[in-house]
Structure 1
Amino acid sequence: METGGFVADSLKMARFSKNHSTKNFIVAGVRFMGESAKILSPEKRVFMPDLDATCSLDLGCNASDFATFHVAHPERVVVVYANTSAAVKAQADWMVTSSCALAIVHQLKSEGKQILWAPDRHLGRYIQEQSGADMLLWNGACIVHDEFKAAELSMFKAAHPNAMVLVHPESPQAVVDLADVVGSTFAMIKAVVEGSATEYIVATDNGILHRMRQLAPHKKFIEAPTAGNSANLQELCPLPLDGYKWPSRHFELPRKCFW
Structure 2
Amino acid sequence: MTSVYDQLLVREHLAKAQPEPELSPEQQQFWIEQIKKDLHARNAVLIAHYYTPAVIQTLAEQTGGFIGDSLEMARFGAQHPAQTLIVAGVRFMGETAKILSPEKQVLMPTLEATCSLDIGCDAEEFAAFCAEHPEREVVVYANTSAAVKAKADWVVTSSIALKVVSHLREQGKKIIWAPDQHLGQYIQRSTGADMILWNGACIVHEEFKAKGILDLKKIHPTAAVLVHPESPQSVVEVADVVGSTSQLLKAASTLPNEVFIVATDRGIFYKMQQQNPTKRFLEAPTAGQGATCRSCAHCPWMAMNSLERLAATLTSEAEEIQVPPQLIEQALIPLKRMLSFQAE
TM-score scaled by structure 1?
A: 0.96
The counterpart of 1:104, out of the listed 131, 142, 164, is 164
Deviations 1:202-246 (A, max 9, x none): 000011111100110000111100012421013454134334453
Secondary structure of the 2:199 match is coil
Conserved? CA contact 2:227–2:235, under 8 Å: yes
Partner of 2:257: 197
Partner of 2:288: 228
Secondary structure of the 2:88 match is coil
Once the two structures are overlaid, the 10-residue window that deviates more, 141-150 or 246-255, is 246-255
Conserved? CA contact 1:50–1:237, under 8 Å: no
Listed as ranges, the matches of 1:229-248 within 5 Å are 229=289, 230-235=296-301, 237-242=303-308, 243-244=312-313, 245-248=315-318
2:278 is equivalent to residue 208 of structure 1? no
> Is the alpha carbon distance of 1:199 and 1:236 closer, same or farther for their aligned partners in structure 2, counting shifts above 3 Å?
closer
Partner of 1:62: 122
Partner of 1:249: 319
Partner of 2:86: 26
Conserved? CA contact 1:30–1:237, under 8 Å: no
2:110 is equivalent to residue 50 of structure 1? yes
Conserved? CA contact 1:90–1:256, under 8 Å: no
CA positional deviation for 1:179: 0.1
Q: Structure 2 CA distance, aligned partners of 1:241 and 1:206?
A: 19
Where structure 2 has 5 or more consecutive residues not aligned to the other structure, the ranges are 1-39, 46-63, 290-295, 333-344
RMSD: 1.3
2:135 is equivalent to residue 75 of structure 1? yes
CA positional deviation for 1:57: 0.4
Sequence identity (%): 57
Partner of 1:93: 153
Once the two structures are overlaid, the 10-residue window that deviates more, 76-85 or 230-239, is 230-239
The counterpart of 1:169, out of the listed 222, 225, 229, is 229
The counterpart of 2:195, out of the listed 124, 132, 135, is 135
CA positional deviation for 1:157: 1.3
Q: Structure 1 CA distance, aligned partners of 2:145 and 2:271?
A: 26
Deviations 1:162-185 (A, max 9, x none): 000000000000000000000000
Conserved? CA contact 2:115–2:301, under 8 Å: no
Deviations 1:6-57 (A, max 9, x none): 1111111001001111111100111001011111111111001111110000
2:244 is equivalent to residue 184 of structure 1? yes
Partner of 2:292: none
Once the two structures are overlaid, the 10-residue window that deviates more, 38-47 or 241-250, is 241-250
Q: Structure 2 CA distance, aligned partners of 1:257 and 1:112?
A: 29
Q: Structure 1 CA distance, aligned partners of 2:165 and 2:188?
A: 8
Conserved? CA contact 2:87–2:93, under 8 Å: yes
Deviations 1:133-177 (A, max 9, x none): 000000000010000011111111121110000000000000000
Conserved? CA contact 2:228–2:244, under 8 Å: yes
Q: Structure 2 CA distance, aligned partners of 1:180 and 1:241?
A: 36
Secondary structure of the 1:207 match is helix
CA positional deviation for 1:251: 2.2
CA positional deviation for 1:93: 0.1
Letter in 2 for 1:246: S
Secondary structure of the 2:164 match is helix
Where structure 1 has 5 or more consecutive residues not aligned to the other structure, the ranges are none
> Is the alpha carbon distance of 1:64 and 1:236 closer, same or farther for their aligned partners in structure 2, counting shifts above 3 Å?
farther
Conserved? CA contact 2:114–2:301, under 8 Å: no
Letter in 2 for 1:233: C
TM-score scaled by structure 2?
A: 0.73
> Is the alpha carbon distance of 1:176 and 1:65 closer, same or farther for their aligned partners in structure 2, counting shifts above 3 Å?
same
Higher relative contact order (CA 8 A, sep 6+): 2
Q: Structure 2 CA distance, aligned partners of 1:144 and 1:179?
A: 17
